[in-house]
Structure 1
Amino acid sequence: MAEHTTTGQPVAAAVVPPADDRDWVVIFSGTPWANGAHRQHALARELTVDHAVLFVDPAGHLPRWRVQVRQVTDGLWQCAAPALLPFGRHLPPVNRVNRWLAARVLRRWFRRREASVRLLWLDEDLAAPVAARLGASAVVYDATDLDWTFTRPWNRPHLRRALRSAVGAADLVLASSTALPDRMPASDPAPVVLANGCDPDRFSPDGPVAPWLLSLRRPLIGYSGAVDTRAFDADLVAAVARAHPEWTFVLIGPSTRAGRAPLAGLSNVVLVDAVGFADVPGILRACDVTIIPYRVGGLIDYVHPKKCYEYLALGKPVVATPLPALRALGDTIALAADPPSFASALADALDRAGAPDDAARRREVATRNSWSARGVQLRSLLAGLPR
């Protein structure tokens, strides 16, 4: 890919990309582009169907004195914006200064190419101060998470104020889960649910299988995602694993010490920490059943795990805890709340794991919930916004 940066230049310098006649969308994201397997990245790609997109990474904890812009693909650019001062996530005045600087640099970036911003897209609450500074025709706020739940209690008021500001600045509020709007500040207009999706081609059942799995005892029960104490219910998994030593649990993703502690000493639980997103389908293809063992009733049971559709795209049976956003899929996946019922649902799923008609039906559900389908819905919503 072409790359243009301002390394070696002062922060106020701007890089002018090749001309693009499409309207521009500027996305201030809470997830860096380098972590490119999330909702933000999928929707950014969908927006390039009829827009040019500048994806702005979140500010780090330390100052960044240079702006960097590089082209990711046709119509999509990634920006590492400058930040004058550290700890903007924790100190509101610092956040405002850093956002003022980022907006100033980006305004110059667009002036140099004689372009303007049609849409400002926020999925990072702390980016709300830029809403009035880029001259966008409309502002979209995409609620992917409740950011304040990801910080310590003393910092939550700051982030909750940022959430209210972001929602209040938006002409369109989106929510990634049916369970999110009730947990958000009131908005006018009310939030529109644009649920998470998947890439059915990436998670096709036809493809390579990770060879190292062939040495594990079957049946294999797979999970992809973080093993932590925020969402993952390690106590549930540990209880089921102890009751069924004949099953092998393959847990793919980063883990914390507290998250994996209940799983210690279980020989039928395999933790696989360092796996790239491209390698995940090859591991899950080898599994007989997939699981989403998330805590229900906690701070983040509003989530709509996109892994559910990824599992279904592979044709795999899914057993999950009854998260509010997953209940609508109750005729496609099995929902179970406690160790005995979870184990029973897994046993039933293993009995039917090889049924081809069931696998085809799961794949059909995933296809209906693809990112391309979400893109069609999104473009319809954006068509009603000011230009």
Structure 2
Amino acid sequence: MSRFARDMTVVYWEEPIEIGDRETAFLKVRQADDFPNVRVVTPHLPARLNDEQRENALRRLLDAHAASLVRPLVTWYYTPMMLPFSRHLDASAVIYDCMDELSKFRFAPERLLDLEQELIDRADLVFTGGASLYEAKKSRHSSVHCFPSSVDRAHFAKARKELPQPADQAELKHPRLGFYGVIDERFDIDLLREMADLRPEWSFVMVGPVVKIGEDELPRAANIHYVGGKTYEQLPAYLSGWDVALMPFAMNESTQFISPTKTPEYLSGGKPVVSTPVRDVVRSYGHLQGVHIAHDADGFVRCCEKALEQSHEVEGDWLAEADLLLSATSWDTTQARMAGLITEVLGERTARETSALLVAAE
């Protein structure tokens, strides 16, 4: 979105935050750090409101804010759940950017599938975050386009150098095997438990918030270290201190369509990767020497041992091979292709006048 902001105002509309029952609904508006043309808008709603009241309040707040935006307007949805309070907007183009099959997630709202179909019917363009999602959506709209996640190579390449280690990781012994991301129903906690038991001399570093699963469900062992959520800026420092990067995703409904951005990020950081057989990972990266695929704890440990050998190579063939693949990956290219499709929808005259892009995101 920072790239779209070079040419237009981007309004990033976030999920609402609950406030006291007696407080009045309001919007908190701030400019994104380092990106002055990206405006982050966060609704604050009283906790007492029912679903209908919440939607009405959100609609009023949205209308008041949208009145300040210069037309034409592009609405960009990351989730169908934002549709009920925004469907009335007079948008020149509607984009549905589908990054996950949200209906497969734990606690998915009952009406999500109906709202998604409505959004697909309204959308001018549908973007998908991976090949599996593209295959699932391509028959449901006349203009579906696959845009696998790219990577900020320069940012994650910082991890190839020795960086000052975060305090909560600095004292952990090597070898260190790490994961960063949300720890939820997509994470194979049994696999982590078994690996930690098989290799008590390895340190397993888990970076990220725990969501939708209880803390008591997490495996606990002396060599498993949960360090909590970190910012995007902090990730290279953690990655630099690992020997191997992990993607222990559970093979269930919630991971059927995922296309993890971690794969190119880990590789950009110069770390070999060990993953469960996520379809898009196998399809896009499984042929690389630096990406190992395992189906169970024993296989995962064997793959990690191979990856540890690779991690000690200063200039390995596996890394050169990965860099060659990553060289064709660019957020600039992705954004340019998306912008070109939007231009076709809007028409040349309207496209030149587009001055606002409203992003509805979780």
TM bucket, shorter chain: 0.7 to 0.9
The answer for unaligned runs of 5 or more in structure 2 is 351-362
Shift of 1:306: 1.2
Q: Secondary structure at the match of 1:309?
A: helix
Amino-acid identity (%): 21
2:41 corresponding residue in structure 1: 79
2:68 is aligned, of 109, 122, 147, to: 109
2:116 corresponding residue in structure 1: 163
1:215 paired with 2:171, answer yes
Shift of 1:172: 0.3
* Higher alpha-carbon deviation: 286-295 or 120-129: 120-129
2:266 corresponding residue in structure 1: 311
Once the two structures are superposed, the pairs formed by residues 19-30 of structure 1 within 5 Å of their partners are: none
Inter-partner Cα distance in structure 2 for 1:211 and 1:117:
46
1:227 is aligned, of 159, 165, 183, to: 183
Give the TM-score taking structure 2 as reference length. Answer: 0.82
* Higher alpha-carbon deviation: 170-179 or 49-58: 49-58
Shift of 1:190: 4.3
Contact 1:181 1:191 in 2 (8 A): yes
Inter-partner Cα distance in structure 1 for 2:115 and 2:241:
43
2:358 corresponding residue in structure 1: none
2:235 is aligned, of 271, 277, 280, to: 280
1:191 paired with 2:144, answer yes
Q: Secondary structure at the match of 2:154?
A: coil
2:354 corresponding residue in structure 1: none
Q: Secondary structure at the match of 1:201?
A: helix
Q: Secondary structure at the match of 1:174?
A: strand
Aligned length: 333
1:21 corresponding residue in structure 2: none
Ranked by relative contact order (alpha carbons within 8 Å, sequence separation 6 or more), the top structure is: 2
Inter-partner Cα distance in structure 1 for 2:94 and 2:242:
42
1:337 is aligned, of 295, 299, 304, to: 295
Inter-partner Cα distance in structure 1 for 2:91 and 2:53:
23
2:3 corresponding residue in structure 1: 46
Give the TM-score taking structure 1 as reference length. Answer: 0.77
The answer for unaligned runs of 5 or more in structure 1 is 1-43
2:75 is aligned, of 120, 127, 130, to: 120
1:16 corresponding residue in structure 2: none
2:97 corresponding residue in structure 1: 142
Inter-partner Cα distance in structure 2 for 1:294 and 1:168:
32
> Cα gap change, 1:171/1:64 in structure 2, threshold over 3 Å: closer, same or farther?
farther
1:9 corresponding residue in structure 2: none
For the aligned residue pairs, the C-alpha RMSD in angstroms reads 2.7
Q: Secondary structure at the match of 2:91?
A: coil
1:66 is aligned, of 26, 37, 43, to: 26
Inter-partner Cα distance in structure 1 for 2:164 and 2:320:
19
Contact 2:105 2:254 in 1 (8 A): no
